[in-house]
């Protein structure tokens, strides 16, 4: 009996250590099972970004929206089926880029079938979206698995949020004001529709008059739905740089939530730092992306590795 108890304890301890190891993300997770993974993702993203730079911004936004709802588990990629898709949630209706992840997944599956999760592919594609447009690169911790469920409870910060709301929303995810300010720098690329920023250009006081006039030319007041696009960064909309922060200091933030980062509040000093020090911005953005990518990931047996990112495996 004593021998049995000791053996059982040893087996249980080894099992616990094994689960702990599986629960840790590592940049080398696929070094044996799919050694060409990163080059496959980078190759597809390079082709996409060169032909349509706006798609790089779309992939980065897709990653944000996935991670902020139940963690980075690729749940946003699921179409309607056994689960109701998160794509139906209002904040996700304008999300693009799903077909890009499909293309990458197809090539990854051809190289190493059943080994790589959609969640990890999305994390790598988001990193490459940034670096391909001139931004920083970083080592992406890998080893996530995919969710078999989704949630329509999509509680994301609104474009009309004030600074207090933004700080609280990020704090709820374990991200601080520095992470918030750095990650908001993703708005140095991408575009927004008139309906998202119309209220700001007609009603906010903390906006440069000439900039407001420019934006009003394609976003008239009271004209109902208007899907005309404007760049989030008026200076260099297809390059990942620190011009976003220069725009904020000049009161040329396109969204109300953007300008809230520089509006006599607690993040003003960070905006000034990133405006004058692009290296500090690049480093802080990369660090914040890693932190965000670590939000409640599924690992080991807590998730699956979908063969198709839009649907759960039949055996799940």
Q: What pLDDT sits at residue 226?
A: 82
Say what the pTM is: 0.90
Residue 283: pLDDT over 50: yes
CATH number assigned to the domain covering 163-292: 1.10.420.10
Least confident range of 31-40, 59-68, 215-224: 215-224
Percent residues over pLDDT 90 in the chain: 82
Mean pLDDT of the chain: 90
Report the alpha-carbon distance of residue 107 to residue 111 in Å, rounded: 6
pLDDT (average), residues 235-244: 96
Q: 56, 58, 65, 284: which is the annotated catalytic residue?
A: 65
The predicted-structure confidence for 115-129, as pLDDT tens digits, reads as follows 999 999 999 999 999
pLDDT (average), residues 227-237: 95
pLDDT (average), residues 165-194: 97
Strand partners, 26: 142
Report the alpha-carbon distance of residue 30 to residue 142 in Å, rounded: 8
Cα–Cα separations (whole angstroms), residue 178 to 23, 172, 185, 196 = 27, 14, 11, 25
152 compared with 113, residue with greater pLDDT? 113
Name the band, by pLDDT with cuts 50, 70 and 90, for residue 238.
very high
Known catalytic membership, residue 65:
yes
> Residue ranges of the domains in the chain?
34-155+296-302, 163-292
Q: What pLDDT sits at residue 201?
A: 98
Residue 222: pLDDT over 70: yes
Domain 34-155+296-302 belongs in CATH node 1.25.40.10: no
Alpha helices by DSSP H, listed for the chain, are 2-22, 37-51, 53-67, 98-111, 118-132, 163-171, 177-183, 194-203, 209-216, 243-249, 256-259, 268-276, 278-293
3-state secondary structure of 231: strand
Least confident range of 12-26, 40-54, 184-198: 12-26
Burial 193-231 (b: 16+ CB within 10 A, else e): ebebbbebbeebeebeeebbeebeeebeeeeeeeeeebb
Encoded tokens for 215: 């934006």
Q: What pLDDT sits at residue 24?
A: 84
Q: What pLDDT sits at residue 83?
A: 80
């Amino acid at each position: 009996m004593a021998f049995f108890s000791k053996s059982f304890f040893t087996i249980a301890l080894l099992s616990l250590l094994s689960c702990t190891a599986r629960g840790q993300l590592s940049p080398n997770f696929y070094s044996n099972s799919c050694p060409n993974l990163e080059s496959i993702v980078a190759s597809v993203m390079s082709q996409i970004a060169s032909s349509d730079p706006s798609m790089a911004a779309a992939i980065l936004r897709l990653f944000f929206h996935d991670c902020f709802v139940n963690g980075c588990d690729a749940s946003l990629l699921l179409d309607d089926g056994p689960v109701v898709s998160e794509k139906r949630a209002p904040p996700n209706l304008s999300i693009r880029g799903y077909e890009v992840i499909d293309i990458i997944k197809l090539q990854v599956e051809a190289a190493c079938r059943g080994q790589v999760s959609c969640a990890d592919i999305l994390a790598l594609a988001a990193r490459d979206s940034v670096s391909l447009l001139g931004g920083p690169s970083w080592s992406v911790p890998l080893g996530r698995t995919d969710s078999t469920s989704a949630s329509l409870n999509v509680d994301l910060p609104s474009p009309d949020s004030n600074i207090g709301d933004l700080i609280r929303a990020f704090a709820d995810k374990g991200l601080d004001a520095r992470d918030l300010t750095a990650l908001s720098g993703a708005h140095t690329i991408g575009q927004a529709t008139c309906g998202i920023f119309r209220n700001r250009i007609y009603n906010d006081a903390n906006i440069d008059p000439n900039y407001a006039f420019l934006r009003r030319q394609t976003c008239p007041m009271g004209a109902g739905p208007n899907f005309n696009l404007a760049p989030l960064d008026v200076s260099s909309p297809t390059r990942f740089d620190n011009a976003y922060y220069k725009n904020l200091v000049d009161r040329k933030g396109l969204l109300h939530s953007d300008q809230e980062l520089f509006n006599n509040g607690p993040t003003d000093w960070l905006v000034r730092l990133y405006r004058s020090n692009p290296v500090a911005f690049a480093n802080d953005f990369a660090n914040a992306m890693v932190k965000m990518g670590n939000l409640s990931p599924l690992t080991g047996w807590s998730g699956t590795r979908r063969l198709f990112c839009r649907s759960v495996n039949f055996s799940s």
